[in-house]
């Protein structure tokens, strides 16, 4: 059986990515109003680009996590249906991809706050 991606899921993911980009831009504009004069020497184009980069980092982490958990969850349900005692192992493997969105979120915050 050939696996075809769900087009509704793809559209929802793209809408969520766009919403993250809008959130990042609004967060950056709100944060820029409270910055000191030391950081105001950056160009006017740098902050929106950092916001877009942060949104891409966060959305990429979320999309990657969803894609990874899709296959793991399907296989895990089959394993648990046959051997319920394997629930702990399946849960462990299902949670491992969560580090992708955590890394994307941390990278997005680093970009937005200008830590590096």
- Tell me what pLDDT residue 7 has: 61
Residue 56 lies in a domain: yes
**Percentages helix, strand, coil for the chain, rounded to the nearest 5?**
80, 0, 20
CA 88 to CA 43: how far, in whole Å? 51
**Is-contact 55 20, C-beta < 8 A?**
yes
**How many domains does the structure of the chain reveal?**
1
- Tell me what pLDDT residue 89 has: 93
Residue 86 lies in a domain: yes
CA 76 to CA 89: how far, in whole Å? 9
**Is-contact 96 65, C-beta < 8 A?**
no
- Tell me what pLDDT residue 11 has: 63
Task: Domain of residue 113: give its range.
Answer: 46-116
- Tell me what pLDDT residue 112 has: 85
Mean pLDDT of all residues in the chain? 78
Length of the chain: 116
Residue 83 lies in a domain: yes
Q: What is the CATH number of the domain that holds 88?
A: 1.20.20.10
Residue 7 lies in a domain: no
Residue with token string 């462990």: 92
- Whether the pLDDT of residue 73 is over 80: the answer is yes
- Tell me what pLDDT residue 4 has: 57
Residue 34 lies in a domain: no
**Tens digit of each residue's pLDDT (9 = 90 or more) over 40-66:** 545 666 888 888 888 888 888 898 898
- DSSP 8-state secondary structure symbol assigned to residue 42: S
- Tell me what pLDDT residue 78 has: 93
Mean pLDDT of 79-108: 91
- Whether the pLDDT of residue 87 is over 90: the answer is yes
């Amino acid at each position: 059986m050939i696996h075809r991606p769900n087009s509704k899921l793809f559209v929802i993911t793209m809408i969520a990515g766009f919403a993250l980009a809008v959130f990042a831009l609004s967060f950056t504009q709100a944060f820029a109003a409270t910055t000191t004069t030391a950081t105001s020497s950056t160009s006017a184009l740098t902050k929106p680009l950092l916001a877009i980069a942060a949104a891409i980092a966060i959305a990429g982490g979320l999309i990657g996590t969803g894609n990874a958990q899709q296959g793991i969850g399907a296989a895990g349900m089959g394993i648990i249906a046959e051997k319920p005692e394997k629930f702990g192992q399946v849960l462990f493997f299902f949670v491992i991809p969560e580090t992708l969105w955590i890394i994307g979120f941390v990278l997005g915050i680093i970009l937005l706050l200008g830590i590096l």
